[in-house]
Homo-oligomer: A and B are copies of this chain.
Amino acid sequence: MSTEPGAAAPDLSRLSLNTATTKAWTLEQAVEGAVAAGIPAVGLWRDSVAEAGLERAAQLVSSAGLRVSSLCRGGFLTAADDAGIAAAREDNKAAIVEAATLGTRELIMVVGGLPAATGPNAPAAPEGDRDLVAARQRVSERIAELVPFAAEHHVRLVLEPLHPIFAADRAVLSTLGQCLTLAEPFPAETVGVVVDTYHVWWDPDLEALIHHAARTGRLASYQVCDWSLPIQANPLLSRGFMGDGFVDFSAITSWVREAGYAGDVEVEIFNQEIWDAPGEQTLQTMIDRYRQLVAPHL
């Protein structure tokens, strides 16, 4: 424990374990681990929910008394062909139903990359469509189509700006500002945004954008992990514990607080070394770092 004996440790009432952080655990183990560590909420991933079975997953989490802070993830909306568009629509409708069943309003959306970066030969031999402006337009169109279904199910499509390192192959939404612009035509309770420190820490407009997101009622989730160097061969796995990289958690967390965000703070880390460690140890480090670097600024 990092807090001194006798000092009041910041409470964990807003901490959420995104279950990708303890990837080796089943959903059942993650739920047990969170409860044992005093963490009151979990962010879930569709693959581990599917593995447990949707109804059973909902039951597990609810009987453990945990909140579900978000479901990861819908998205992958950039296909330009009819079959791809139809498949994405069906998959996202399924994700919306899953979110509603699990008792969360917040469905995180990773919108997908360029067709040239997602074909059978990509990324080694890119062929095909590099039109980023058109890919972004298709994302707007797909979101517009999903909004009525999401609203019916009281689920919010939470647009996630991904770090520009992923603009080619994973998400053509690269900034919080871009997500807010896309969200604007739709009700705040149906299209929101997430601030994930790994993806947006570098943004020169971040403070103003966080305020804008919160003021308009669209700030749906605050996810924390660090930007570590050197970048891993798979940059997705470069995420680290808070304090192991270069993110200024005091500044960003203060902006989130000042903007009025009062929701959960999810720790979501993809990192092979952390995945190889025992889950209980991961939870303890995550709690220590949250208490040291995040909670004091909330």
Contacts and interface: CB of A to CB of B under 8 A. Distances in A.
Dominant SS among interface residues on chain A: loop
A127 to B, nearest CB: 10
Nearest to A135: B248
A132 B251 contact: yes
Interface in A129-179: 130-133, 136, 163-165, 167-169, 174-175, 177-178
Given A117-B229, A230-B123, A245 B168 contact: yes
A178 B204 contact: yes
B168 A116 contact: no
Interface string A234-253: 11000000001111100100
A233 interface: yes
Interface residues of A, number: 41
Contacts of A133: 248, 251
How many copies the complex holds: the figure is 2
B175 A204 contact: yes
A84 to B, nearest CB: 18
A131 B202 contact: no
A233 B230 contact: yes
A270 interface: no
Given A168-B246, A174-B204, 6 more contacts: A123-B246, A132-B201, A133-B251, A163-B164, A164-B203, A168-B245
Interface of A: 114, 116-117, 122-124, 126, 130-133, 136, 163-165, 167-169, 174-175, 177-178, 201-205, 227-231, 233-235, 244-248, 251
29 contacts: A122-B229, A126-B229, A126-B244, A126-B246, A130-B248, A131-B248, A131-B251, A132-B202, A132-B251, A133-B248, A133-B251, A136-B204, A163-B164, A163-B165, A164-B165, A164-B202, A164-B203, A165-B165, A167-B201, A167-B202, A168-B227, A174-B202, A175-B203, A177-B204, A178-B204, A230-B233, A230-B234, A231-B231, A231-B235
